[in-house]
Structure 1
Amino acid sequence: MMGRQGVVSMAGLLVLFALASTRTTMATDYTVGDSMGWTGPPNITEGFYNDWAAGKTFEGGDSLKFVWNGSHNVAIVSKEDYENCTKVSSYFIGGSAFTYTLPSNASGMYYFICTVDSHCEGGQKLAINVTSSEPSTTDDGSSAPLLAIGALSSAVLPAGVLLLHLLN
């Protein structure tokens, strides 16, 4: 027969296992270009920002912080405007930084350029693929996280009941 300490340890392990098997999504804050920041030619090369983004997983709720020195801006543009470096009239400008938070339901491609002088043509542009952070649903329309919570409670509840029973 297992003693109280063993039961407590076993219940604790069950709780930890149940918690570890659930997935929580936390938003990530990215500084575009890392220590180089959002800068224009001649400091960067074509593809620098897309190389920076490669290997990163962007999800809805994540933040992109554009930090710069000098004269720069950030425009969120269409794929065509990105490819052609179109000088759009709607852009974000500030002292030396701008933070853009991807909408929570974001998915697909997002395009950013600098419209100052020929900065975009010199490579000051970024294309990222955003994966959906929205909970997936089952065929009946129910939410997958609710299933995870159900699985969690079905693992933790019996362990708690057993623990209380053995401690009394």
Structure 2
Amino acid sequence: MPSFPVNPKRLDPYKNFKFRVKWDGKYVAGVSKVGSLKRSTEVVEHREGGDPSTSHKSPGRTKYEAITFERGLTQDLNFHDWAGLVWNYGAGLGSEVSLANFRKDIYLEVYNEAGQLVIAYRIYRCWVSEYQALPDLDANANAIAIEHIKLENEGWERDTSVTEPAEPTLTSVAT
């Protein structure tokens, strides 16, 4: 992967408002907000017995933070159904959790202003640790009802097969 931009004319960073989420091979409708992808590595400090004034640092365990997805409440049951695989209230002893398929891999796509795919990430072994089916309801409010899920994951990586596209130009402008 080159360390210099493929498109040297692009000076602006990509915006954060054009993206799509895919799981089970299908795009998920209406996702309006995706939390950040964040990982952190613990620091292991140690020192040598003959050098008491200095410590050395090395990497320890790496953790991947949970990711939240939000969308306006609709009749689409994607969030509800996935959350039900982790815990299905009233399902009966031995069938509360769907161990075979409660984890999913997710594909997150980011697009430029022209709608061209520019960056993508694979997020591995996700499962729903928190599900909000309904927000606070308020008869005096003027807002969209939002549902959200919090996804635990076991890592992510950038899809390096997605490269910077040639940006489109307008050939003529109507006056």
TM-score, normalising length: structure 1: 0.22
By percentage of residues, which structure has more helix? 1
Answer with 1 or 2: which has the greater Rg.
Answer: 1
By percentage of residues, which structure has more strand? 2
Q: Which has the higher contact order (CA 8 A, sep 6+)?
A: 1
